[in-house]
Amino acid sequence: MTRYIIRRLLQFIPVVFISTLIVYALVFAIPGDPIRALAGDRAMSEAVQESLREQYNLNDPFIVQYAKYMWGVFTALDFGTTFQGRPVLDIITQRLPVTLQLAGVTFVVQAIIGVIAGALAAINRDRFLDRLVQVSTVVVVAMPVLVIAFLLQLTFGLNLGWFPISGTGQGLRSFILPAIALGAVSMAMIARLLRSELLDALQSDYVRTATAKGLTRSRVIGRHGMRNSMIPVVTFMGADLATMMSGTILVETIFNLPGLGEQVFSSIQAQEGTVVVGIVTLFVLFFVVINLIVDIIYGLLDPRIRYE
């Protein structure tokens, strides 16, 4: 097991390098001159522009810029500074809690609603509840997140007034609508995945054995059916937690939450390459770490899986 984890950690190195290189290249390729953008309408002397370019390594060839940046990240945890001189790490530590809160609420909401809906659908196969879950999940999956977000804001924010539609002023309540918007598609996927897994399990030999043992129906489903059906669902939820990060860019912007996603969006607009690369690097690290954890949990849930 330890050897497996070490091997997986070693695999992180190329993944992190390649993905950051791609992000760096994309930011590099954004048309326009960031220094001119910084100056805006005001006049800026050539000398100042040149010294700024020198300071931010903008005169170096692309690959040298990238190497200098990565060197800073791994030797001094230096993610660079913004053009205003603020360390990127500072921005990250300030905005991370908002994103983590959003991710946490989203994870809990989609897990609870998705699992309950999926289980109810499977138990009531072909009856009303099942059809309801089937139809509503298709609708949710087919709808763009943008539309879901605006519908939620309009209905529960403006018309009903139950939840705030902007900012983090009301603590956990502020995160409910963004979390539903961010987790809606995954929630539907979880429900559908669990439904089909549980239907399979309920027709399996071991569930028939459990019934023949004289267990109550709820125990047969809860202990024997669900125990097996949840394995792929947990795997999905883990992997989804990692991809959720990119969803925060859109949702945090719509709901005006000062998190990492919103920062990425505004930094792209401001052509603040260092900030974008810094945050996206963090997302990549988050992604690979979560995936490793998911694989380890998978091994714990299913005794037939052994890691060498």
Residue 303 interacts with other proteins (CB under 8 A): yes or no: yes
> Which phi and psi (to 5°) does residue 45 adopt?
-65, 150
Question: In this chain, which of 93, 147, 213, 293 binds other proteins, going by CB under 8 A?
Answer: 213
CB of 298 to other proteins, least distance (A): 12
- Nearest-CA neighbor of 105 among 190, 177, 192, 186? 177
Question: In this chain, which of 184, 198, 210, 233 binds other proteins, going by CB under 8 A?
Answer: 210
Distance CA 95, CA 181 (A): 20
Residue 166 interacts with other proteins (CB under 8 A): yes or no: no
- In this complex, which beta carbon is closest to other proteins, that of residue 165 or of residue 202? 202
Match 């109810």 to its residue by tokens: 120
What are the Cα distances from residue 75, in Å, to 45, 78, 150? 34, 8, 44
Q: Is 307 helix (H, G, I), strand (E, B) or coil?
A: coil
- In this complex, which beta carbon is closest to other proteins, that of residue 61 or of residue 303? 303
Distance CA 277, CA 261 (A): 12
- Nearest-CA neighbor of 26 among 288, 282, 283, 280? 280
CA 247 to chain centre: 6
CB of 233 to other proteins, least distance (A): 14
Residue 302 interacts with other proteins (CB under 8 A): yes or no: yes
Cβ contact 239:290 at 8 Å: yes
CB of 273 to other proteins, least distance (A): 48
**Site size for other proteins, by CB under 8 A?**
22
CB of 228 to other proteins, least distance (A): 6
Residue 127 interacts with other proteins (CB under 8 A): yes or no: no
Residue 124 interacts with other proteins (CB under 8 A): yes or no: no
Question: In this chain, which of 204, 265, 270, 289 binds other proteins, going by CB under 8 A?
Answer: 204
Residue 231 interacts with other proteins (CB under 8 A): yes or no: yes
- Residue 151: what residue type? L
How is residue 258 annotated by DSSP?
Answer: -
CB of 299 to other proteins, least distance (A): 12
Distance CA 46, CA 50 (A): 6
CB of 223 to other proteins, least distance (A): 8
Q: What is the largest CA-CA distance in the chain?
A: 86
Residue 160 interacts with other proteins (CB under 8 A): yes or no: no
CB of 201 to other proteins, least distance (A): 10
Please give the residue ranges that form the binding site for other proteins (CB under 8 A): 203-206, 208-216, 219, 224, 227-228, 231, 301-304
